[in-house]
Structure 1
Amino acid sequence: MLATALLFHMFILPFRGPTSAGKAAAAGPYLGNRCNDPCRSVLVESIPEGLTYDDNHPQPFHLRRLEDPPGRRQPQCGHRLFLLDPEQRGHSHQDPSAGQGEEILAALREPGRGVTLRIAVNPPSSRMPCSDLQLLEESGAQIRKVNFPQLTGGVLHTKFWIVDQQHIFLGSANMDWRALTQVKELGMAVYNCSCLAQDLGKMFEAYWALGLPNATIPSPWPANYSTSYNKETPLELELNGTEAGVYFSSAPPALCATGRTEDLQSLVSIVDDADEFVYIEVMSYLPTMEFSHPKRFWPVIDDHLRKAAYERRVRVRLLVGCWRHSKANMFPFLRSLAAMHDVRTHYSMEVRLFVVPANETQARIPYARVNHSKFMVTDKVAYIGTSNWSGDYFLHTAGSALVVNQSHVGAGEQPTVRDRLQAVFERDWNSRYSQELSLPGQWEQLCGTY
């Protein structure tokens, strides 16, 4: 099945810095914090082969739809890795599901198309090779490898595309052939929206600058990286004809120029503002610093979820990915959250696991067959991110999120982004792939065998 725009921790952008973008914005479709572009958005998914629902799901999305819009076709991309060629990881080209990744790689390498391609990625490693990037570079792509382990102690984990400073995609999908057919992903594409594209471009330019030799993180960032669009003053625009307030958040804090909302601050504020419910779908949830040594407890998000359920009687539902790479120490924390759910006290805190099925052949594909989505929806806001929910991702790792507030839209109007994201969550929560949190020890059988 075709899927979301493939994003590996990498970035691609036409050669226009924030300064020129800002000048274009001043003369373009802006009036203060108002954007007059005819912005059109769509939720897009990768549905793994063999995973079916009884009802309809958001339309599949193919990268070529972003890559081949009318006009100059100047894509920009931000990702953690590029792995469209399955032979890089020892998997056969004969696997039928590999064809879509190969098709995208061939399209990006197609000569004579007048496409300016810029990519920011993590430095290559034995686990994350870069032969795809070498092929793209030979075809004219400009690539910078950003040493985030040295700069922040994390990695480049963002996944987004910008095309012609008009069209964007941001979501959970890596630039990996498996993200098209073997992993469950979710993101959002926005078309004909230069206001958003130019603002996201400033975040790309920050990564691009940090890809220079011996680069250091400036403090503060120069003014041309700053933004006026944030959780206090979102960009006002119409999405599919419906009013919305939109902004991008970023992690870690060191990468946030003046005006940019930190991703963690955005996330917890959305939880704190919810009146009725908070629904979360994420691959990994840990109230710890997941990769730190020595071990560190990090209950920031956990505390806000518990507070919402306890103080305001908000209904909290957490749907977490369950696969062979799930960390054992995640499950006691999940059971602790679920223990708040009590009929007598009316605390509503529910936790389930999402298991992507696999046949014998699919089970042999490494790092596949998992729900890799990273989103949250409340009664007010849609939040689509690129980070797993543990401390390292918000404090050290480069990530981003798209936040859409349409809480003021009245009932009876056409479905909003928030409405559609809620429908996706409820479909997944009520599907046969959603499993009750098992007793101690049982998760190993549930997540580790197919």
Structure 2
Amino acid sequence: MENSSGGEKAWEGLHSATCDDPCSFVVAESVPDGLVYDENATKYESTYNSWLKLINIANSSLDIASFYWTLTGHDINVTDPTSKPGEILLQELGKLPLKNVSVRIASSTLSFPHQHSTDLKILKEKGIHIRKVNFQKLMNGVLHTKLWIVDKKHIYIGSANMDWRALTQVKELGAVVYNCSCLANDFSKIFEAYWNLGLPNATIPSPWPSFYSTNFNKETPLEVKLNGTAAKMYFSSSPARMCPKGRTSDLDAIINGINTAKEFLYVSVMEYFPTSRFLQHVIYWPYIDDSLRKAAIERHVHIQMLIGYWKHTDKSMLAYLRSLQALGNIKKVHFDVKLFIVPVGKFRNIPYARVCHTKYFVTENVAYIGTSNWSYDYFNSTTGVGLLINQTAENNEEAGDTAHHQLKRLFQRDWNSNYSVTLDDLKDNSNFPFKINGL
């Protein structure tokens, strides 16, 4: 089915395929060392433990797509005990070919700055298949997706790159879905597209061969039992050129999720710009911004946005955030913005760390976990994926286990923590960075 726009009808799923797999959903998060919540605060499985479990249960195959690889402290000339989890993962991945597990890795030809990783060279020597995808050449972007697929039935999707800092130094949010072959097989189509674009002289096909097509999208999501509760799910992809027949684009999925919110919308992203970020001439890009304003003003949706803030933040973002915050001065409009600041503490020697890197949102009935920051470039030239889940429980006992309830609790924990500050707290920049409220 071709993608088309649709608001309320997005979740009707009258022609949705059903799946009998006993699918289970687990939030996977990275809480940086030194970031401590209250004793009774909500806790979730760590990204490290989730990835280690996926490696250990792999029987036949593991496919990973990641922007770049930096699993050892040596890669960035840092000696710190917090690099140990990444180094263990690298060792465990290297053992999989000895267990007759076929491992394929798709990564970007452009790597992260200031690092000279040998991870992929080491893994290749151990029999793991590696392909670098040149999205700079293909569409002037990068492969920014972060995904795992194990045995075509378990998946990980989230904000964490294959970087030891993503396990212990950066705040990340993702999810693992276990025992869900219907979902994993659909996810595999996205990985196969990356894998085949890693061949020499590959080009983005138009149209895409039918093999890459999907029946699961915002009009006809996959119907499953997720943690025992009925759910409708689908994957979105960006940019639009990377969406074969039937695949909802990531931007359409996000806007549709915002447009169907009636009560509340909680958003947590590292960056928010209604513009381009990496073009020589800035482009105004109002699509998400318009949907947020319309939800707050016309439908009186209570909106809370939590944005990552660190020493590399482009301060011009604050002007856009303040313009959204100002909507709260309108009668019956509830729009609040906060910044999440990870304290640097004793980790000043670690570059590109100590930041909230999450990309998710949740409404009263929709949970979204993605891999893209919210600006023009991530949806128009850079690859990303999103997982959309619509799940309503029949009673409160079940509700605690739904994906959207778990994300809601996680967001509220962060929003109310000592690490979240208002925009007004930044007016005195003499304390910047990370001294606000004692941080």
TM-score between the two structures when normalised by the length of structure 2: 0.91
Q: Say whether residues 1:59 and 2:45 are aligned partners.
A: yes
Of the structure 1 ranges 404-413 and 152-161, higher mean CA displacement relative to structure 2 is found in 404-413
Distance (whole Å) between structure 1 residues aligned to residue 266 and residue 202 of structure 2 = 39
Structure 1 gap segments, 5+ residues each: 1-30
2:8 paired residue number = none
1:320 paired residue number = 307
Distance (whole Å) between structure 1 residues aligned to residue 248 and residue 309 of structure 2 = 30
Letter in 1 for 2:213: S
1:50 paired residue number = 34
Given that 1:326 and 1:447 are in contact with CA atoms closer than 8 Å, whether structure 2 keeps it comes out as no
2:25 paired residue number = 41
Given that 1:75 and 1:118 are in contact with CA atoms closer than 8 Å, whether structure 2 keeps it comes out as yes
Find the partner of 2:201 among 186, 204, 214. Answer: 214
1:123 paired residue number = 109
1:36 Cα deviation (Å)? Answer: 0.5
2:369 paired residue number = 384
Letter in 2 for 1:201: S
Letter in 2 for 1:255: M
1:295 paired residue number = 282
Matched position secondary structure for 2:141:
coil
Find the partner of 1:272 among 259, 267, 271. Answer: 259
2:420 paired residue number = 434
Change (3 A) 1:298 1:213: same
1:130 Cα deviation (Å)? Answer: 4.0
1:369 paired residue number = 354
**Structure 1 residues 11-50: Cα deviation after superposition (integer angstroms, max 9, x where no partner):** xxxxxxxxxxxxxxxxxxxx96101001111111111111
1:236 paired residue number = 223
1:289 Cα deviation (Å)? Answer: 0.6
**Structure 1 residues 230-289: Cα deviation after superposition (integer angstroms, max 9, x where no partner):** 011000000111000000000000000100000000000110000001110011111111
1:4 paired residue number = none
Q: Say whether residues 1:424 and 2:398 are aligned partners.
A: no
Given that 1:75 and 1:116 are in contact with CA atoms closer than 8 Å, whether structure 2 keeps it comes out as yes
**Structure 1 residues 156-213: Cα deviation after superposition (integer angstroms, max 9, x where no partner):** 1100100010110000001000011111111110111111111000000000111011
Given that 1:67 and 1:73 are in contact with CA atoms closer than 8 Å, whether structure 2 keeps it comes out as no
Letter in 1 for 2:21: D
Letter in 1 for 2:366: V
1:89 Cα deviation (Å)? Answer: 1.1
Distance (whole Å) between structure 2 residues aligned to residue 444 and residue 400 of structure 1 = 38
1:358 Cα deviation (Å)? Answer: 2.0
Given that 2:42 and 2:413 are in contact with CA atoms closer than 8 Å, whether structure 1 keeps it comes out as no
Letter in 1 for 2:27: L
2:10 paired residue number = none
2:344 paired residue number = 358
Given that 2:229 and 2:393 are in contact with CA atoms closer than 8 Å, whether structure 1 keeps it comes out as no
Matched position secondary structure for 1:39:
strand
Give the length in aligned residue pairs: 415
Letter in 2 for 1:36: D
**Structure 1 residues 383-402: Cα deviation after superposition (integer angstroms, max 9, x where no partner):** 00000010100111100011
1:299 Cα deviation (Å)? Answer: 1.4
1:332 paired residue number = 319
Distance (whole Å) between structure 2 residues aligned to residue 371 and residue 440 of structure 1 = 17
Q: Pairwise CA RMSD of aligned residues? A: 1.7
2:390 paired residue number = 405
2:99 paired residue number = 113
Distance (whole Å) between structure 2 residues aligned to residue 89 and residue 204 of structure 1 = 28
1:300 Cα deviation (Å)? Answer: 1.2
Matched position secondary structure for 2:337:
strand
Distance (whole Å) between structure 2 residues aligned to residue 445 and residue 298 of structure 1 = 32
Q: Say whether residues 1:84 and 2:71 are aligned partners.
A: yes
Given that 1:277 and 1:379 are in contact with CA atoms closer than 8 Å, whether structure 2 keeps it comes out as yes
Given that 1:382 and 1:404 are in contact with CA atoms closer than 8 Å, whether structure 2 keeps it comes out as yes
Of the structure 1 ranges 221-230 and 344-353, higher mean CA displacement relative to structure 2 is found in 344-353
Given that 1:81 and 1:128 are in contact with CA atoms closer than 8 Å, whether structure 2 keeps it comes out as no
Matched position secondary structure for 2:328:
coil
Find the partner of 1:394 among 379, 383, 387. Answer: 379
Change (3 A) 1:267 1:163: same
Given that 1:322 and 1:447 are in contact with CA atoms closer than 8 Å, whether structure 2 keeps it comes out as no
Find the partner of 1:99 among 84, 89, 107. Answer: 84
Matched position secondary structure for 2:409:
helix
Change (3 A) 1:250 1:353: same
- The percentage of aligned residue pairs carrying the same residue is 48
2:293 paired residue number = 306
2:11 paired residue number = none
Matched position secondary structure for 2:347:
helix
Given that 2:156 and 2:176 are in contact with CA atoms closer than 8 Å, whether structure 1 keeps it comes out as yes
